[in-house]
């Protein structure tokens, strides 16, 4: 079946209604486009779980702060559609800003608590923008399952909370981070990095891998695990927003001894590019297998 493209919410909704009427199970992958292999992996997971895959491509202005990179965020609809077509996706929903936000829109979906730390503390309003657009997209598409990357770990937890709190009948599937060969997490924003900035950006996966090595050696002090990551990243980054050790489900910051599992999440700026990454000790593989030191 050829890929269809909808740019209006009503058209996307009608196509999804039709698919459901024919008995299809819809899986949904929301994206901001400039697709890379990480996104395409989410599409593959969506395909395994459904017979009708919808991918949205929408650079959502309400999740960008005034000083952020909305205007220069990479856009390549034609290239994205070609990649999704090769992946046998059924529907791409690529709306305009006007199609998603009517003039006079006044409704904001706000998930509390879990949005206070990490990126929420550094990007005011970001998760309101994320929760609002995800709620709108889920309402238009009506998926049984939606697939998100663990690369945006806090976003994944926010979406899980949103769906539980609003009784949305959508299974949220979290997929491990896909990385470049050297360990850098794939991101549309990596395209902004100069070669030198990219090399410095590797301090993040190296730091996270160093924490894995310590954890494997028995280290359980939240402070020392954090320090191992921070030491590497602080040496290389132009600005470090946070290096945080937190409970993987509630995202509350951990001190003292960590338990079985602990999230270590990082956000740091390299040149004009802000990179985020994370790993769950006791659960994930290290970003750089065997290359922690």
Stretch that binds ligand AMP, among 8-16, 117-125, 135-143, 180-188 (CB under 6 A): 180-188
Give the position of tokens 């410095």.
200
> What is the contact mask toward ligand AMP in residues 158 to 177, using x (rule: CB under 6 A)?
-----------------x-x
Q: Determine if 148 is a binding residue for ligand AMP (CB under 6 A).
A: yes
Q: Determine if 211 is a binding residue for ligand AMP (CB under 6 A).
A: no
Q: Give the shortest CB-101-to-ligand AMP separation in angstroms.
A: 17
Nearer to ligand AMP among residue 42 and residue 225 (C-beta) = 42
Number of residues that bind ligand AMP (CB under 6 A): 17
Q: Determine if 152 is a binding residue for ligand AMP (CB under 6 A).
A: yes
The CA-CA-CA angle for residues 169, 171, 174, to 5°, reads 155
C-alpha–C-alpha distance, residues 101 and 114, integer Å: 25
Contacts of 269 by beta carbon, 8 Å cutoff, 6+ apart: 237, 238, 239, 240, 241, 275
Nearer to ligand AMP among residue 152 and residue 241 (C-beta) = 152
Q: Determine if 31 is a binding residue for ligand AMP (CB under 6 A).
A: yes
C-alpha–C-alpha distance, residues 15 and 24, integer Å: 11
Q: Determine if 32 is a binding residue for ligand AMP (CB under 6 A).
A: yes
249 with 235: CB under 8 angstroms?
A: no
Go through 230-264 and write b for each residue having 16 or more CB atoms within 10 A of its CB, e for each that does not.
bebbeebbeebbbbbbbebeebebbeeebeeebbb
Using the rule CB under 6 A, which residue among 95, 129, 142, 149 binds ligand AMP? 149
Q: Which residues bind ligand AMP (CB under 6 A)?
A: 31-32, 38-39, 41-42, 148-149, 151-152, 175, 177-178, 185-188
* Residues taking part in catalysis: 39
């Amino acid at each position: 079946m050829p890929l269809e493209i909808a740019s209006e919410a009503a058209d996307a909704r009608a196509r999804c209604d039709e698919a459901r009427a024919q008995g299809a199970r819809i899986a949904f992958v929301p994206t901001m486009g400039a697709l890379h292999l990480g996104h395409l992996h989410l599409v593959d997971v969506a395909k395994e779980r459904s017979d009708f895959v919808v991918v949205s491509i929408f650079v959502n202005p309400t999740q960008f702060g005034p000083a952020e990179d909305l205007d220069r965020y990479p856009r390549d609809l034609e290239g994205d559609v070609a990649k999704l077509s090769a992946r046998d996706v059924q529907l791409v929903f690529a709306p305009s800003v006007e199609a998603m936000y009517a003039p006079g829109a006044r409704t904001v979906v706000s998930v509390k608590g879990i949005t206070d730390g990490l990126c929420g503390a550094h990007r005011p309003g970001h998760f309101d923008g994320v929760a609002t657009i995800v709620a709108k997209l889920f309402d238009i598409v009506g998926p049984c399952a939606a697939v998100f990357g663990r690369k945006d770990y806090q976003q994944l937890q926010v979406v899980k909370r949103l769906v539980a709190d609003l009784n949305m009948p959508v299974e949220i599937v979290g997929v491990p981070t896909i990385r470049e060969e050297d360990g850098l997490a794939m991101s549309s924003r990596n395209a902004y990095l100069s070669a030198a900035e990219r090399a410095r950006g590797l301090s993040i996966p190296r730091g996270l891998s160093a924490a894995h090595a310590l954890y494997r050696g028995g280290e359980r002090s939240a402070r020392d695990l954090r320090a191992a990551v921070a030491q590497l990243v602080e040496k290389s980054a132009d600005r470090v927003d946070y290096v945080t050790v937190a409970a993987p489900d509630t995202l509350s910051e951990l001190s003292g001894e960590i338990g079985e599992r602990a999230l270590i999440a990082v956000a740091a700026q390299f040149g004009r590019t802000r990179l985020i990454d994370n790993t769950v000790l006791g659960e994930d593989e290290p970003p750089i297998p065997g290359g922690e030191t």
